[in-house]
Amino acid sequence: MRDLIAMVLAGGRTDALGVLTERRPQSALPFGGMFRVIDFVLTNLAESGVEKVGILSQYKPLSLMDHVGIGRPWDYNGRTRELSFLPPYQGSKEIDWYKGTADAVYQNLHFIERHRPKDVLVLSGDHVYRMDYRPLIAMHREKKADLTMVFKPIEVSSPCRFGIGVVGKNGRVLRYFEKPEVPESNLVSLTIYCFRREVLEEQVKENARTGKTFHIYDEIIPQLVQHGKVYGFIFRRGWEYLRPVSAFYDAHMRLLRVRGEKVSMERVRTNLEEEGLAEAPPVYFASGGVATRSLVAPGSMIFGGVRRSVVFPYVRVEEDAFVAESVVFHRCHIARGARVRRAILDKGCFIGEGAVLDGGDGLIVLGKGVKVMDGAVLKGTMEILPDRVVG
């Protein structure tokens, strides 16, 4: 698709994921056993035939930049395809950190100007879903819309933490409310926007002069719904917001279920040169090990038990150790006789012999490289900072 470019907002800092995003943006967070969150959007873009992609990153972008590189795993090399990182740069004044999503686009108008596409997809790199953007683009063009935004009907609570739209019979967005006290409909905005280029340029320029929050969803969308031609595209399949940490956890538990809505991981591509994935042997299940209802990534060795869990590469679960209802990132080591239940373990954690981690009805979250001593007992909801030694 030559007359369309995509801008992926991937650098936002979030506190909602606690220790998991202390050293990385949400888009760089491991997901689904061997991927990172941004892999899903990049796979979507590649499969939709979008040829030019800009990634707007700001918060600790190094792990993201290492991971995405020049986009080779998603086939963004060659004569016509391009993937560029667009970090903040020093402007005429000082260092212009992105003040918000609209400002991030504003500061990168040159990227849009360079390609002069007909339409611009503005997406968040923080969410996990599989979507072919082509029907969205087709609707946008057919309706000659200024903006077409994607909604998904879900069960909403009051007050609502999402943007809510009211969509008329012809697909026109009639009203839009950002995080309303009492939602007027069940249509949640997925922050997937298809803008006519001129409209986007005009709006972000205007916003740069008059904005307060400098966010697209706060300031540009309500403005356009009132004064422009905005359409709603309804998406009904799996979409994971991943915030707060309980949502990140629930998204993983949904991957394990047989029936019901979940995000498909078939054909999702990732950078295999990271974390030794390219050199990982198949998973080894030892005699005496038990694994049920779990996803287990290459390079892992399971001598103990794993139930209802997502296990990333190079994890070692020793004999008589048991991992249940948990998400275990790369290179964690669960020693003999340890018990882990309802926990998220960031990369390289060590759980000592006979230690017990039980999140109860809540969740235990261990930051990168946490070491839990032999025999230690941790129960109930808690979060442990990276590299700490516990017990």
Partner 1 sequence: MILAGGRGSRLNIIAAKRAKPAVPFGGIYRIIDFTMTNVMRSEVRHLGVLTQYRPTSLMEHLGDGESWDFHGLRATFRILPPRMGQSSTDWYRGTADAVFQNLDFLEAQKPDLVLILSGDHIYKMDYRPMIKWHLETKADLTIAGMEVPWEEVGRFGTMVLDSSLRVQTFLEKVKDSPSNIANMGVYCFNYETLAQELQNNCPKGRYDFGADVIPGMLGRSKVVAFMFDGYWRDVGTLNSFWEANQDALNPRSGLDLWSWRVRTNLEGRGQVYHPPAVVDTGAKVQNSLVSRGCVLKGEVRDSILSPGVVVEENAVVVSSVIMHDCRIGKGARVLRAILDKDVVVGEKAKIGDINPDPGCNKRFPTHLWGGLVVVGKKTEIPANCIIEPNCIVGAGVKATDMPLHLEKGESVGC
Cβ-based neighbours of 185, under 8 Å, separated by 6 or more:
164, 165, 166, 167
By beta-carbon proximity to partner 1, the closer residue of 4 and 306 is 306
By CB under 8 A, name the binding residues for partner 1: 32-34, 258, 265-269, 272, 276, 278-279, 281-299, 301, 306, 310-311
Closer to partner 1 by CB, 5 or 296: give it. Answer: 296
- For residues 102 and 220, give the distance between their C-alpha atoms in angstroms, rounded to a whole number: 8
Q: Smallest gap, in angstroms, from Cβ of residue 302 to partner 1?
A: 8
* Residue with smaller CB distance to partner 1, 34 or 188: 34
Task: Report in angstroms how near the CB of residue 242 gets to partner 1 at its nearest.
Answer: 18
Q: Are 270 and 251 in contact (CB under 8 A)?
A: no
Q: How far is the CB of 347 from partner 1 (least distance, A)?
A: 16
Q: 221 vs 306, which CB is nearer to partner 1?
A: 306
Q: How far is the CB of 345 from partner 1 (least distance, A)?
A: 16
Rounded CA separation 57/28 (Å): 11
Closer Cβ to partner 1, 29 or 306, answer by number: 306
d(CA 84, CA 55): 6
Q: Name the residue nearer to partner 1 (CB basis): 220 or 295.
A: 295
Closest distance between partner 1 and the C-beta of residue 1, in Å?
A: 22
Q: Burial-class residue 208 by CB neighbours within 10 Å (0-12, 13-18, 19+).
A: middle
Measured from the CB of residue 287, what is the shortest distance to partner 1 in angstroms? 4
Work out how close the CB of 74 gets to partner 1 at its nearest, in angstroms, rounded to a whole number.
11
The dihedral through the CA atoms of 192, 166, 154, 171 has a sign that is: negative
Would you call 226 exposed, middle or buried from its count of C-beta atoms within 10 A (0-12, 13-18, 19+)? Answer: exposed
Amino acid found at 15 = D
Give me the sign of the Cα torsion angle 221, 226, 231, 234.
Answer: positive
Q: How far apart are CA 74 and CA 342, in angstroms?
A: 33
Q: Phi and psi for 55 in degrees, rounded to 5?
A: -110, 120
Tell me whether residue 165 or residue 298 sits nearer to partner 1 (CB atom): 298
